[in-house]
Amino acid sequence: MSTELTMLALSAGLAFILAFPPVISLIVTKGLVFAAGNRNESYSLPVWGERAGRAYRNMLDNFPVFVALVVAAQLSGATNETTALGATVFFWGRLAHAVIYIAGIQYLRTVAFGVSLVGMVMIASQIV
């Protein structure tokens, strides 16, 4: 399997894993019965749980573009060292972004987000 597809699979795994911290936060805060229910009443999570939810949604916002770029590079035959590196940069940037976001480290989170964007630009530059 190509590096690009490996990083795509790892990024999908990361997106899957990022769904759990907000749920864990909810269970710890409100209990399993509430978390498993319909949650018709409003609730708030601890600060880290809210950040975890935002990190997850941010990953979901960026993941479709990454998927489209990797698929386009694969189908067009544009894969090379740059696209492989771009996919790798995206994955590690997203992983760092999630950890930094949940930990609440300001400014560095934005840097990690920027790194992941650079990875996507690297892939896109080889397609056009």
Phi, psi of 49 (to 5 degrees): -65, -40
Q: How many domains does the chain have?
A: 1
CATH code (residue 25): 1.20.120.550
Cβ(92)–Cβ(14) under 8 Å?
no
DSSP codes, 89-110? HHHHHHHHHHHHHHHT-TTHHH
User: How many other C-beta atoms are found inside a 10 Å radius of the C-beta of residue 11?
Assistant: 22
pLDDT given at position 40: 84
pTM exceeds 0.85: yes
Tokens of 12: 């999908």
pLDDT given at position 102: 97
Burial 81-103 (b: 16+ CB within 10 A, else e): eebbbbbbbbbbbbbbbbebbbe
pLDDT given at position 35: 86
pLDDT given at position 37: 87
Tokens of 73: 């590079």
Cβ(113)–Cβ(99) under 8 Å?
no
Domain span at residue 110? 3-38+45-127
pLDDT in tens, the chain (128 residues): 999 999 999 999 999 999 999 999 999 999 898 888 888 888 889 999 999 999 999 999 999 999 999 999 999 999 999 999 999 999 999 999 999 999 999 999 999 999 999 999 999 999 98
pLDDT given at position 39: 82
Tokens of 124: 């896109």
Length of the chain: 128
